[in-house]
Amino acid sequence: MKANEEFNGNLKQKLEELFDASLKLTVPDVPGVEPKIKIAVGRKGDYQCDNVMSLWPRIKGKSTHIEDGLALGQAVVEKLPSSEMVESCSVNKPGFINVAISTEWIAKSLENMLINGIEIWAPTLSVKRVVVDFSSPNIAKVMHVGHLRSTIIGDTIARML
């Protein structure tokens, strides 16, 4: 990854890439494990990985050095690739992995976005044609509030797009 590439793109996607690598190293015998990253609830971290909860029953009892969900969570954290983005990781019972995002990384990302423009940071979306149908009152007839409401809403939507 280039130096500036780490500061571009979707934060959740980057965390998923890190945890994907870690999960493949930690539980190579379990195929098709997709990282489950979500915003953390509470003050334990910024993001949370919930894979341990679903992985533990699948590997329990197999010949492995991992004795419980908490140990599995710690093994995933130990194999997590290093990144400037991750300040710290902690594991809570029964195996929730909490990730704290580095404030220094956030500052560098914002600085990079301000210097190089938002185009490199924001996802590029395809241009789509949209048709907005709203009233065009007959000026030969008496105008009333019903015409006005529809016209204002339609005009506002058309201007926003």
For residue 116 the two structure tokens come to 């190089």
Asked if the 5-106 domain carries CATH number 3.30.1360.70, the reply is yes
Q: For the chain, which residues make up each domain, given as ranges?
A: 5-106, 126-161
Is 65 one of the annotated active-site residues of the chain? no
Span between the terminal Cα atoms of the chain, in Å: 35
| 144 included as an active-site residue | yes
The reply to whether 147 belongs to the active site is yes
What confidence score (pLDDT) does residue 102 get?
92
Q: Which of 36, 79, 108, 147 is catalytic?
A: 147
Amino acid, res. 127: V
Distance CA 17, CA 6 (A): 12
Closest to 59 in 3D by CA, of 91, 86, 31, 81: 31
Catalytic entry in 2, 65, 93, 144: 144
- Token pair for 12: 């959740």
**Burial status of residue 160 (CB atoms within 10 A of its CB: 0-12, 13-18, 19 or more):** exposed
Query: For the chain, how many residues are written?
Result: 161
Contact between 15 and 35 under an 8 Å Cβ cutoff? The reply is: yes
pLDDT by residue for the chain (161 residues), tens only, comes to 444 555 556 888 889 999 989 888 888 887 788 888 888 877 788 898 888 888 887 877 775 677 787 888 888 889 899 888 999 998 888 778 899 999 999 898 888 888 887 776 676 778 888 888 877 777 788 877 777 788 888 888 888 87
* pLDDT of amino acid 56: 80
pLDDT at 7: 56
Instruction: Give the per-residue pLDDT at 1.
Output: 42
pTM: 0.66
Choosing from 2, 93, 128, 141, the catalytic residue is: 141
